[in-house]
Amino acid sequence: MNKVYLEKLHTAANAIEAACGRADIAVILGSGLGQYVEALENVTSISYADIPGFPVSTAPGHEGRWYAGTLHGKRVCMMQGRFHAYEGYDMREVTMPIRVMKLLGVQTLIVTNAAGGVNTAYVPGDLMLMTDFLNMSGKNPLTGPNLDEFGVRFPDMSKPYSPVLREIALVASQKLGIKLQSGIYCWMNGPCYESPAEIRMTRILGADAVGMSTVPETIVARHCGMSVLGISCITNMAAGILDQQLSHQEVMDVGAQTQTKFRALIDAVIAEI
């Protein structure tokens, strides 16, 4: 099982390296945030469809292209579109890009997402620094034989999001005058949005935001020793907080509206890494 998967990882990494080279920092762009690839200089890219064995993005707003280039003189790759468990991919496929990044030399991962606000002090358009996560999906991407080449069987998860990178992001947000909330992100499987009762449950458990991604990527990145920074864009208030229905269009629209400050923040963080 591991041998075939490992071969798949190396084949995909080789194809990406041939097209786009290696990288030190990776950014995964969530719903509505994909335009950030425009920030890259000396850009190269490859479609996921042209990477052997790579899954393809099926979620609207996830283009399915791997970009690489430089930003502040650093080698950065960006994923315009990610994979989610709700698309039907198994957890090894969902997190395959993280292990491919590791093979390409990535040491720092910046994960972004669109999320519903569970904390009633938040408003749509807020950015939230992820301080920790709650895994309510019932899944774990490390299930199955351990990949000893990448990390240990029982990895520590006491600091999923790097305190050093969080401090860099907080200082950058203050300098830029960007409001940055700090909170706990709860991973729900989706694809339906949560029920109001589920949102009340997540709030009781300590969640500030809820979404359908990012946690599997964080777990696998920590397993293989990367430093992780997580930033959520609160695109809507979670179910039951306001008397209105949730829609993916709203998620993408608000995500797109926050691009400017989101880009400024990530840019400032990458400059400091």
Give the residues lining the site for ligand HPA (CB under 6 A): 114-116, 188, 193-194, 210-212, 235-236, 238, 246, 251
* Residue 82: CB minimum distance to ligand HPA, A: 12
The enclosing H or E element of 145 equals none
Distance (Å, rounded) from C-alpha 7 to C-alpha 189?
28
Q: Helix 96-103 crosses helix 215-223 at what angle (to 10 degrees)?
A: 40
Measure the CA–CA gap between 7 and 166, rounded to whole angstroms.
34
Q: Cβ 219 to ligand HPA, closest distance in Å?
A: 18
Q: Which is nearer to ligand HPA, 181 or 236 (CB)?
A: 236
Which residues share a beta bridge with 83?
A: none
Calpha distance 143→28 (Å, rounded): 23
Q: State the Cα–Cα distance between residues 38 and 21, nearest whole angstrom.
A: 18
- The closest of 132, 125, 142 to 236, measured between CA atoms, is 125
Complex with ligand HPA: residue 69 or 183, whichever CB lies closer: 183
Pull the structure tokens for residue 202. Answer: 């997540």
Active site residues: 31, 62, 84, 86-87, 114, 212-213, 236, 248
Q: How far is the CB of 47 from ligand HPA (least distance, A)?
A: 25
Nearer to ligand HPA by C-beta: 33 or 221? 33
The residue among 227 and 236 lying less far from ligand HPA, judged by its C-beta, is 236
DSSP designation for 200: H
Query: Which CB, 95 or 137, lies closer to ligand HPA?
Result: 137
What are the structure tokens assigned to 147, written together?
């990949």
CB of residue 180 vs ligand HPA: minimum separation in angstroms?
A: 18
Q: Are strands 127-135 and 74-80 parallel, antiparallel or unpaired?
A: unpaired
Q: Give min distance, CB of 32 to ligand HPA, in A.
A: 9
The enclosing H or E element of 182 equals strand 180-187
Tokens of 104: 């390409």
